[in-house]
Each structure stands twice: as C-alpha cells, then as structure tokens.
Structure 1
Amino acid sequence: MKLTIQRMARIAILSALAVGLRSAFIGLPNIQPITAMFFVSVLYLGLVDGFLIMALTMSISGFIFGFGPWIFNQILAFGILMALWSLIAPRLSLVWQIALVTILSFLYGVLLDYSYGLLFKSGLTFVVSGLLYDTYHAVSTLLFYPFIQSIFRRLLK
C-alpha cells in the first residue's frame, strides 16, 4: 500500500485527535476513548494505518505525559491485540465487535500490568492490583466503541 499525502494526512490528523482525546481524559483513571479509536481505525483503515496511528499517539503522548519503557510495552501490547482484532473483527456483527473490543481492552491492561511487574519481579502482584483499573478501561472502551465506530462509518463510507 502506497503512502500517499492523503493517507499520511489522515494518519497525522487521527493521531493528533487521539493525543487530544487522551489529554482530555487524563484525569479519569483508565477511561480512554483512544483504545476504541485504535481498534476502529484498524477496521476501517487497515492494520498498518491503525498501528501507525496508535504508535504515533503513544509516542507523542509519551513526550507530553512522560516517556519511559512503558511506552514500548504499550505499543507492543496494542500491536499484538490490534493484529488479532484485524483477523477476527471484520467478520463479526457490531454487538460481537463490542464484546471482543471489551475483552481485548481488558487483556491490554493485564498484559501491561504483567510487563510492568516483570520489571520489578512481581508480575502477578501488578496484575491483581490493576484489575479494577483494567475493568474501567474495558468498560470505557465498551461505551466509546459504538460511538466512534458510527463516526468512522459515516465519514469513511
């Protein structure tokens, strides 16, 4: 797939929007519309563009909110889950997409918690202590996904 100016502009604009959304919701614990946006972008723009939007968003927000080894863990975890999403989600109805994106959002939190725990040699402790926040993240993604998906559907039809 050729990287045209239109495609680069779309990736840049959606990345900037995602950074803005992340900034707007920073005060709420793990309530982030960007997760839904990443998964929807994979569905409508493809895995490569969705991955680029996610990686740019995580990197830029890392410079704004603090950059460290967790950024690489976030990009890796999202990348793996987005690849899995790209294989399964296109064949699902909206209801099943919402169910899957909720599960993947929760799994994203568990993967991150475990990777943080590995840095401090206490993976399971981090996973257990993060379950409530991972649940917040999954529920917020469940709520944001239909809204963001309907916007993408109308704009990119």
Structure 2
Amino acid sequence: MLVFILIAVFLMLMMLLRNKHYLLFSFMILLCSILPAYWRFETQPLTTQTMMFVAILVALAVIGRVPFASIPGVQAASFVIILGGISLGPELGFVTGATTALVSNMFLGQGPWTPWQMFAWGLMGLSAGFIGMTKLRKSLVFMIIFAGLWGFFFGWIMDLWYALAYVSPITPKSFILAFVSSFLFDLSHAISNVVLIGLLYRSWGKLFMRLDRKYNFLPTK
C-alpha cells in the first residue's frame, strides 16, 4: 500500500508541475517498483542452495549478455532470465532479471538506463515466474511466443525511457517515432529469444530438474 501511495503522490506532483522533472519522477516510480521485490527477497526464508542457484543464474545471464554487447539486440541474458523465472517463481525471477542488468552494466557501463533495464528484465522474470506456476510452462510453442513477445516488450520499455529523456517536445507522434526507430533492434532481441528457447528450453529444464533432485535448490512454489 505504501508503494502505491508513493507512486500516486509522484504522479500528482508531475501533474501539478505540468510534467516538469518527469525523468526524476520516473526514476522514483521505478525505485518504488523495484525495492519491494528486493525487500521480499531479503526477508523470505531461502535455503543456501537456492541463493547459490540465483547467483549462478545471474552469472550465466551476465555471461550471455556481455560478449554480444557489440551486436544490438542479440543476447542470451533474456533466455536465462526466463528460465530462472520459470524455475524459481515470480519473486526470485524478478530479482534474477533486475540483478542481471545491474551486474552486467558494471562491465558495459552504468547510466540512467540501468534502472529501466532492471525494471524491464525484472518484469520479464516476474511474468515468466507466473507462467511457471501453470501448465503453460510445458508448452514449447507457448514459451517460444512468450519469449518472442518479450523481445519487443523489453524494447518498448527502453523506448519509453529514451523518449522521456531525449525527445522534445513529447507528443504522440514523437513517441511513435521513438518506438518505430528501434524495431530492428527489438526484432533481433525477439529472434534471439525464440531461437534459444526453441533449441534449449526443454534440455535446460530437464537439467534443472535433475540437479534439483540431487541438490534440492528449487523453492517450493
């Protein structure tokens, strides 16, 4: 409730200031959205095995992002984050995605885009976690479509940041142009997600199950 109240206050302040300082308030809203997930991560009982698995997934996602940084949109980080959300659930999926952005940007460069990437990848892990709680996780076709769509959703969230930060004046037309200009990058992200999910989703899922039977690191959802 406190988070919703704070977000409502920030939105009211933006209206009263006639949309001035919108970038500052955007960061405040993002922080309000991200902090509860980390708070839940710190307070809920987790085994050492589960925490180690989260750390391993983050490391794999970082490794899957950094080497492909020179190829816009192409990366393996999103594939790992989706698998993490499916396996760990929505809360740890969010933490895995958000932490991946923060850690990988230590190598690629931090900036005002980092909170937005944390939020976007966090939502990717969160939504994958909810899918993991249903029978849809067993459908390869559905997971391919899900991963492909998130290639575009991620790009649209980052386009929103770009438009707020650099486009002036802000009009519906300028927003549309910002979204259209990144289409090829978003398409590359979507294709890389689809290919990796199509080729590796089931084999990695079976690997996680075998490891869980031996080390018991997956939380009960």
TM-score with structure 1 setting the length: 0.89
Give the aligned partner of residue 76 of structure 2.
33
Q: Any conservation in 2 of the 1:103–1:138 contact (CA below 8 Å)?
A: yes
Q: Deviation string for 1:23-56 (max 9, x for gaps)?
A: 2222222101111111111111212222222222
2:187 alignment partner in structure 1: 135
Query: Percent sequence identity over matched residues?
Result: 31
Separation of aligned partners in 1, 2:97 and 2:113: 14
Matches of 2:126 and 2:187, distance apart in 1: 22
Q: Is the 8 A contact 1:21 1:33 kept in 2?
A: yes
Question: Any idea what SS the aligned residue of 1:156 has?
Answer: helix
Equivalent residue letter for 1:124: I
Does structure 2 conserve the Cα–Cα contact (< 8 Å) formed by 1:37 and 1:148? no
5+ residue gaps, structure 2, are 1-43, 168-173, 210-221
The partner residue of 2:159 within 109, 113, 121 is: 113
Q: Give the structure 1 partner of residue 40 of structure 2.
A: none
- The structure-2 alpha-carbon separation of the partners of 1:9 and 1:84, relative to structure 1 and needing over 3 Å to count, comes to closer
Q: Quick check: 2:90–2:129 contact (8 Å CA) kept in 1?
A: yes
AA in 2 matched with 1:72: P
- Structure 1 unmatched runs, 5+: none
Calculate the TM-score normalised by the size of structure 2. Answer: 0.65
In the TM superposition, 1:3-82 aligns within 5 A as 3-82=46-125
Aligned residues: 157
How has the CA–CA distance of structure 1 residues 47 and 87 changed in structure 2, closer, same or farther, with 3 Å as cutoff? closer
Q: Is the contact made by 1:15 and 1:57 (CA closer than 8 Å) also made in structure 2? A: yes
- The Cα shift of 1:101 comes to 1.6
CA distance in 1: counterparts of 2:178 and 2:160, whole angstroms: 6
Q: 1:7 Cα shift?
A: 1.2
The CA deviation at 1:99 is 0.8
Answer yes or no: is the 8 Å Cα contact 1:110–1:131 preserved in 2. Answer: no
Specify whether residues 25 and 34 from structure 1 end up closer, same or farther in structure 2 by C-alpha distance, changes over 3 A only.
Answer: same
Report the equivalent of 2:212: none
Q: C-alpha root-mean-square deviation of aligned residues, in Å?
A: 1.8
Deviation at 1:88, TM superposition (A): 4.1
